[in-house]
């Protein structure tokens, strides 16, 4: 059995019906329906087939320093492409595009965020603040 790639991506259970006929001596049919379910799984959520991870040889920028009150500073926060492991004949394109989200101190970064905000359509963030109370504090961003 081979199911088409793609169409899909939602796990579902498909019954396979089998009809068993045990006729009487005089060939009078006696049918019994047997149902066997096959579960079709989504490879995009199965680590056996698709796994996305960061290439350790290409770390994101870290330990960036910003002087409070200085002009906005841009940081390209993604300088790598996620790698995808592929198992079997399945094409990873069928899983759709890879999306990113940026968090700063566990808060989603948007163009309207304070201190650290994103630039729409780019993988670049900017840092700008005049809040002197942040002096010597460390913020953690993650992707």
Partner 1 sequence: MNIVAPTLEEIEYVIDMPEVSYSPPAFTVTTVPIEHNLCGALVYKAYYDSTEIAADEEFLSYSGSGGSLTAEFLDKATYGYLIDTTVPYSLTAEFANWPSATNPTVSTSTATSDVLYLDPCDHLTTFTPATQDNIPDDTYSGTEFSWNLIEFTVVPTFCIPTVTYTISNVSGPSLLRTEPNGTHDYTSFFTNYDLTLDSDSTGPADGELLVSASQSHYDNQELAPGTYTFTLMCTDQKGNSVTTTFTWTLLDPCLNPTIVQYEWDPYYLSYTISDTVYVPYVSYTWEPSFCRQTMTYT
- Give φ, ψ of 48 to 5 degrees: -65, -25
Partners of residue 115 on adjacent β-strands: 128
Task: Tell me how crowded residue 109 is: count the other CB atoms within 10 A of its CB.
Answer: 22
Smallest gap from Cβ 52 to partner 1, in A, equals 17
User: Please, which residue, 74 or 87, has the CB nearer to partner 1?
Assistant: 87
d(CA 56, CA 31): 61
One symbol per residue from 17 to 56: x for binding partner 1 (CB under 8 A), - otherwise; what is it?
xxxxxxxxxxxx-x-x-x-xxxxxxxx--x-xx-------
Q: Which two tokens stand for residue 66?
A: 């910003």
Q: Applying CB under 8 A, which of residues 3, 83, 85, 98 lies at the interface with partner 1? A: 3
Q: Applying CB under 8 A, which residues contact partner 1? A: 1-3, 5-6, 8, 16-28, 30, 32, 34, 36-43, 46, 48-49, 87-90, 94
């Amino acid at each position: 059995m081979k199911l088409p790639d793609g169409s899909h991506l939602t796990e579902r259970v498909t019954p396979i019906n089998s009809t068993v006929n045990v006729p009487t001596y005089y060939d009078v049919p006696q049918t019994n329906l047997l149902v066997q379910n096959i579960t079709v799984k989504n490879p995009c959520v199965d680590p056996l087939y698709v796994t996305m991870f960061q290439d350790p040889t290409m770390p994101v920028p870290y330990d960036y320093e910003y002087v409070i009150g200085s002009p906005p500073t841009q940081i390209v926060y993604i300088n790598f492409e996620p790698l995808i492991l592929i198992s079997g004949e399945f094409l990873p394109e069928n899983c759709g595009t890879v999306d990113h989200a940026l968090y700063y101190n566990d808060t989603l970064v948007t163009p309207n965020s304070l201190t650290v905000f994103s630039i729409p359509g780019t993988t670049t963030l900017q840092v700008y603040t005049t809040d002197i109370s942040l002096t010597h504090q460390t913020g953690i961003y993650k992707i």
